[in-house]
Structure 1
Amino acid sequence: MSGIEIVIGVVLGLVVNEATDLSPWLGRVLVRWAAGIEYADEDPQRPVRSEELQALINVRPGKLLKLLTGLGFLSAAVLTRLRRLVGSDADGSLAEALPPREYREDEPTMLVARYLFATERYRGEWKRHWIHIAKAGSVILLYGVLGVWVTQLRIKPQYAGFLTAAICVATLVVIAYRFAGWWFDRFVITNKRVMMTRGVLWRRVRMVPLMRVVDIQYNQSVLGRLLSYGSFTSGDRTTRRTISQLRDLPNPNELYLRLLEEMYEPTAVEARLGADDEDTEPAAPATDEVIAGLEKLVLSIESLIAALGRSER
């Protein structure tokens, strides 16, 4: 090895080392940019979101992973901004149909509304993370491939083609059914309880009252930290035992804080939601349209009666 090659190797090693040390700092800079792109300057959520993302960068293992996480949040913020611009009104105002964040106090969907009673306040609903259906689909696909392989080895050729086609169709049907179950399943939070609705053809509802929950925590694997999903475990206030475990929920850190706020600071939640309701303008009454419709209905009935009278004559 010549002297030039040694010098080049040392220089490249120093460059790589310095670039690696800069990765955490650059990751924090990128998430600050992401918060600035996602929220307007006057939005009070902007500094809060920036602090949350920087804290998330700090807990990411390694150095390059911090940089990759920052790039991921920055790209997501740019996509969100582009969606807002594409869905903007003619005067340039942002379309209300595109929420800036995933978590909003909205009206419950039809999948959840039927299980809520009138006096409880709806706080939000979430599907499981996409990794849940990815894991289930991978396992089902693996079994399908093994079934086809065994069929080709063990079954006579005159029957192998039919059984192979049957296994492929059954695999696709099971994957489609599991996908539908993932799509219809909902994790729901109200001011009274935590609820999980499951099933496509047979619906199953499981709920835990908030007053019974003494301990709630979430666990994240290494892959869960990379893709932002985790599992929740809740304990019983009286028996001190695990009463529920929910796997593969999205954004577990924010969801965990949402649950804690609902459990220990319900008055703060009500105050915030009340302020949001005051900011929204009430919908204009549709009394005139209703009266006009009733008048048209009466005229139609009168004309029908007159036509029947002329036909009897």
Structure 2
Amino acid sequence: MGGFLAWIGDPRIGRHLLRDEGEVVVDEVRHHWVSYLRPGFEGLVGLVLLVVSPFVHVNLAWAFLVAAFVLLLRGAWGVVREHRDRFVITNMRVFRVHGVLTQHLATMPLHRILDISVKKPLHGRVLGFGHFVFESAAQEQGLRDIRYVGRPDERDLAIQRVVQRSGLRGPRVPN
């Protein structure tokens, strides 16, 4: 069972790298723990319904069991979905891999990044997460909103450093 759980939980970032071109991972960003609260709560409610169901009238117990299994399944699916959703910063590009049964890969080369907005709602500032919004020259892009990023200011600086080191922005002018 450990092999299955490791397989289902690992999005295998390494297979998306251009190793023969010298691409290396600068940062692999997993979701902040806050993103697990909703699926965890659903699983907890499902567990409570499962425990309570033997004490309910037999004509109503089946509804409790069905609701419990649906909530447990939704909670487990949500946890795996959040765990497999990764945002990766490399020395050449940024990309996002997500999906459980089917996998979606969205890539943006560093030279296409025009602007990065970091949005930190009040509870995000308190708990240490934020959301990235990428702007590029493309009309349609699969890499626009990256939600629940832990330590967003550090991650933003890491992206800015990589872009600066790659020479895509002009040289720094000292004050």
TM-score by structure 1 length? Answer: 0.43
Q: Residue 169 of structure 1: which of 46, 50, 69 is its match?
A: 69
User: 1:183 & 1:252 partners in 2: Cα distance?
Assistant: 18
User: Does 1:111 pair with 2:12?
Assistant: yes
Q: Residue 155 of structure 2: which of 238, 246, 255 is its match?
A: 255
**Partner residue, 2:86:** 186
Q: Residue 121 of structure 1: which of 3, 15, 24 is its match?
A: 24
CA contact (8 A) 1:234 1:242 kept: no
User: Does 1:196 pair with 2:96?
Assistant: yes
User: 1:161 & 1:124 partners in 2: Cα distance?
Assistant: 48
The structure with the largest helix share of the pair is 1
- What's the offset of the Cα at 1:131? 0.3
CA contact (8 A) 2:44 2:72 kept: no
User: Does 1:233 pair with 2:122?
Assistant: no
List 4+ stretches of structure 1 deviating above 4 A.
Answer: 141-145
Structure 1 135/158 Cα, relative in aligned 2: closer, same or farther at 3 Å?
A: closer
1:253-287 per-residue CA deviation (whole Å, 9 max, x = no partner) reads 000000111112336xxxxxxxxxxxxxxxxxxxx
Question: SS in structure 2 opposite 1:165?
Answer: helix
**Partner residue, 2:52:** none
CA contact (8 A) 2:31 2:85 kept: yes
**Partner residue, 1:133:** 36
Q: Which has the larger radius of gyration?
A: 1
Look up the equivalent residue of 2:17 and give its one-letter code: L
Q: Residue 120 of structure 2: which of 220, 244, 258 is its match?
A: 220
Q: 5+ unaligned residues in a row in structure 1: which ranges?
A: 1-108, 149-156, 268-313
Indicate the percent of aligned positions where both proteins have the same amino acid: 25
CA contact (8 A) 1:186 1:197 kept: yes
User: 1:216 & 1:265 partners in 2: Cα distance?
Assistant: 17
Structure 1 110/182 Cα, relative in aligned 2: closer, same or farther at 3 Å?
A: closer
User: 2:96 & 2:35 partners in 1: Cα distance?
Assistant: 15
Look up the equivalent residue of 2:147 and give its one-letter code: R
CA contact (8 A) 1:232 1:247 kept: yes
1:47-85 per-residue CA deviation (whole Å, 9 max, x = no partner) reads xxxxxxxxxxxxxxxxxxxxxxxxxxxxxxxxxxxxxxx
CA contact (8 A) 1:132 1:248 kept: yes
User: 1:126 & 1:262 partners in 2: Cα distance?
Assistant: 15
Question: SS in structure 2 opposite 1:114?
Answer: helix
The structure with the largest strand share of the pair is 2
Q: Residue 145 of structure 2: which of 241, 245, 258 is its match?
A: 245
User: 2:11 & 2:149 partners in 1: Cα distance?
Assistant: 21
TM-score by structure 2 length? Answer: 0.73
- What's the offset of the Cα at 1:162? 0.7
How many residues align? The count is 149
Look up the equivalent residue of 1:255 and give its one-letter code: R
**Partner residue, 1:51:** none
User: 1:242 & 1:203 partners in 2: Cα distance?
Assistant: 13
User: 2:72 & 2:38 partners in 1: Cα distance?
Assistant: 15
User: Does 1:160 pair with 2:63?
Assistant: no
CA contact (8 A) 1:188 1:194 kept: yes
Look up the equivalent residue of 1:180 and give its one-letter code: V
1:84-123 per-residue CA deviation (whole Å, 9 max, x = no partner) reads xxxxxxxxxxxxxxxxxxxxxxxxx871001112212221
User: 2:161 & 2:60 partners in 1: Cα distance?
Assistant: 59
